[in-house]
Amino acid sequence: MIMEEVEDPITKMIQPQQPYTGQIFQPTQTFTPTTPQPFYGNSFEDEPPLLEELGINFDHIWQKTLTVLHPLKVADGSIMNETDLAGPMVFCLAFGATLLLAGKIQFGYVYGISAIGCLGMFCLLNLMSMTGVSFGCVASVLGYCLLPMILLSSFAVIFSLQGMVGIILTAGIIGWCSFSASKIFISALAMEGQQLLVAYPCALLYGVFALISVF
Amino acid sequence: MHPAGSAAGTPRQRKWPSKRRIPVSHLGMADPHQLFDDTSSAQSQGYGAQRGPSGLGYPTASASPQAAFLADPVSNMAMAYGSSLAAQGKELVDKNIDRFIPVTKLKYYFAVDTLYVGKKLGLLFFPYLHQDWEVQYQQDTPVAPRFDVNAPDLYIPAMAFITYVLVAGLALGTQDRFSPDLLGLQASSALAWLTLEVLAILLSLYLVTVNTDLTTIDLVAFLGYKYVGMIGGILMGLLFGKIGYYLVLGWCCMSIFVFMIRTLRLKILAEAAAEGVPVRGARNQLRMYLTMAVAAAQPLLMYWLTFHLVR
């Protein structure tokens, strides 16, 4: 909530410092303490924009998506500073939806495997890195890197993945997902010489997702 | 509310009676008797610029600190309570997790890098040419696995265990015997055998009264290395049938036997030589038998846990 300050020269002299810089000047006030003001009426125009307050920053979401989609692009370590679970939620639902299109109603498996996988990666990364990592950050990164898997499962709607082409495509997509996930983790946690070590458990996790899409 | 108390709280938790409001015309530092400056509105500095142009014509805006408290006391308190609960819960977990899981000790076993893992895997499959099996020490503590290929780590056993469970699921899937709960069954049976092994070895170490610096976690690490060979065997069995399975499993069994003997010998038998105690034949022989028994148990378990997966 905002506190207005009236610049009064007398009180300015009394208080030597002025922590309220940039405050507005309210000349006439009518204070009625007994009327509870509705919240929206108080400072509707003073609130920050809704998306900012909710913490959804479209620019960052787009940046993170691009980082996932370009496996060779160098990741910026600071983009993971705010954990954003809106994007991953959307990707998980999209994955479940494409599976549904192929006739597999397996939302429960997707949810269970992602929960267990995130927990496992959280424990592993906390033990392997110098700085710790929060669970939200792990869930966010793993969720973003699920994007190529959605491509795989949408491909599986039309063509069956059980031939040689399907196996090669599956292996390629798993590699893509785990490579970008490990790239983001490495840059965010400043771990050196451990990219393959982080990529391997990610590959196991995405391999299980691929198993669900293929079979 | 006492002005000092209100200054320490959130910006909205302030209650000024109206008679104070009108003569002293600025908020926040209204009371000249206030002991310290109220800088809680520093949080709202970012909103100040936005508010500037829209400040006028706004009859309720000035009432905001006071009225906001009245309008939002419940949500504010609920927020504060909820966040303090969450912080308390997290603190509780952090404090108590150290009692059950020694996190800093575990971190030592995960301080690995790709080069170490590569070399260690090579050692697990071909330990015959490696000469020096001694772990290097640095001022009484063993160096991290990153710097010495002989040090035990927990990354490889953990990953090998998970991979074993998934590969077992794959093997069962190709034989059309797969269902998700079978994965859980495989995982828990392998884990049970591992626990049994660790307990048996700890018991025998205790009975033989060996003074060794072999900790439980070290033991778990050494016993977990056999899963690598098991995975190799199952994969070869999937690709090339029973012949491939037996060949690769036989090779991995031999390698893990030699690996375990050479590693455990330094841990269990070295104390006798290092202490300078006159070597009593019976005791040393007993330790040698113990090492051989531990090493021989590995191939047996490797076969037992994989033969039903390859048809």
* CA-to-CA separations, B13 to A5, A22, B2, B3, B203, in angstroms, rounded: 16, 22, 11, 10, 62
Nearest-CA neighbor of A117 among A92, A96, A87? A92
Contact B232, B252 (CB under 8 A): yes
Beta bridge partners of B141: B138
pLDDT at B231: 93
**Residue A70 DSSP code:** -
Q: Are A197 and B155 in contact (CB under 8 A)?
A: yes
pLDDT for A42-56, tens place per residue?
566 777 777 676 666
Q: Which of B44, B112, B153 has the highest number of chain A CBs within 10 A, making it the mutation to test binding with A? A: B44
Measure A120 CA to nearest chain B CA, in Å.
10
A11 chain-B contacts, CB cut-off 8 A: 24-26, 29, 32
Q: How confident is the model at residue B52 (pLDDT cuts 50, 70, 90)?
A: very low
Report which of residues B38 and B290 the model is more confident about.
Answer: B290
For the question of whether the overall pTM of this predicted structure is more than 0.80, the answer is no
Host domain of residue B253? 159-307
Segment among A80-94, B41-55, B132-146 with least mean pLDDT: B41-55
Number of domains in chain B: 1
Confidence of residue B116 (pLDDT cuts 50, 70, 90): very high
Mutate to test the interface with A, among B6, B12, B29 (most CBs of A within 10 A): B29
Query: Mean pLDDT across chain A, nearest whole number?
Result: 78
B163 → closest Cβ in A6, A204, A211: A204
Contact between B61 and A6 using a beta-carbon 8 Å cutoff: no
> CA A147, CA A22: separation in Å to the nearest integer?
45
Q: Which residue has the tokens 């059980």?
A: A162
In this predicted structure, the answer to whether residue A144 has a pLDDT above a threshold of 60 is: yes
- Cβ–Cβ gap A127/B25 under 8 Å: no
Q: Hey, what's the torsion of the CAs at B245, B247, B249, B252, to 10 degrees? A: -150
Residue B250 confidence class, pLDDT cut points 50, 70, 90: very high
Helices A195-214 and A164-189: angle between axes, nearest 10 degrees: 140
The DSSP call for residue B137 is E
Residue B68 contacts residue B2 (beta carbons within 8 Å): no
Judged against a pLDDT cut of 70, whether residue B125 lies above it is answered with yes
Q: Is residue B44 part of a domain?
A: no
The tens digit of pLDDT for each residue in B184-227 reads 888 899 899 999 999 999 998 888 877 777 888 999 999 999 99
How would residue A200 be classed by pLDDT, with cut points 50, 70 and 90? very high
The whole-number average pLDDT for the span A200-208 is 92
Residue range B168-193, pLDDT digits in tens = 888 887 887 777 778 788 889 989 99
Any CB–CB contact under 8 A between B45 and chain A? yes
Q: Which pLDDT belongs to residue A192?
A: 81
Taking 80 as the threshold, does the pLDDT of residue A82 lie above it? no
pLDDT in tens, A162-191: 788 888 999 999 998 998 888 888 888 888
Whether B299 shows a pLDDT value over 90: the answer reads yes
Residue linked to tokens 């895997």 = B121
Residue B80 lies in a domain: no
H/E element holding A178?
helix A164-189
At B29 the pLDDT is 47
Residues A39, B71: C-beta atoms closer than 8 Å: yes
Tokens read off for B84: 């303090």
Please name every residue paired with B142 in a beta bridge, in sequence order, or none if there are none.
B137
Q: Is residue B298 part of a domain?
A: yes
**Distance from A20 to chain B by nearest Cα, in Å?**
7
Burial A56-73 (b: 16+ CB within 10 A, else e): eeeebbeebeebbeeeee
**CA B199, CA B208: separation in Å to the nearest integer?**
14
> Which residue of A5, A46, A47 is in closest CB contact with B27?
A5
User: Between these two residues, B147 and A18, which has the higher pLDDT value?
Assistant: B147
Helix residue ranges per DSSP H, chain B: 3-8, 18-21, 45-54, 64-71, 73-100, 103-109, 114-125, 155-174, 180-207, 216-224, 226-264, 270-275, 281-306
- If one compares A131 and A122, the residue with the highest pLDDT of the two is A122
Confidence of residue B245 (pLDDT cuts 50, 70, 90): very high
Alpha-carbon torsion angle B54, B60, B66, B68, nearest 10: -80
Give A69's contacts (C-beta < 8 A, 6+ positions apart): A147, A148
Using the Cβ of B137 and the Cβ atoms of chain A, whether some distance falls under 8 Å is answered with: no
Residue B269 is assigned to a structural domain of this protein: yes
Among A22, A197, A208, the residue with its CB nearest the CB of B114 is A197
> How much is the pLDDT for B31?
58
Residues of B in contact with A120 (CB under 8 A): 162
- Mean pLDDT (chain B) is 77
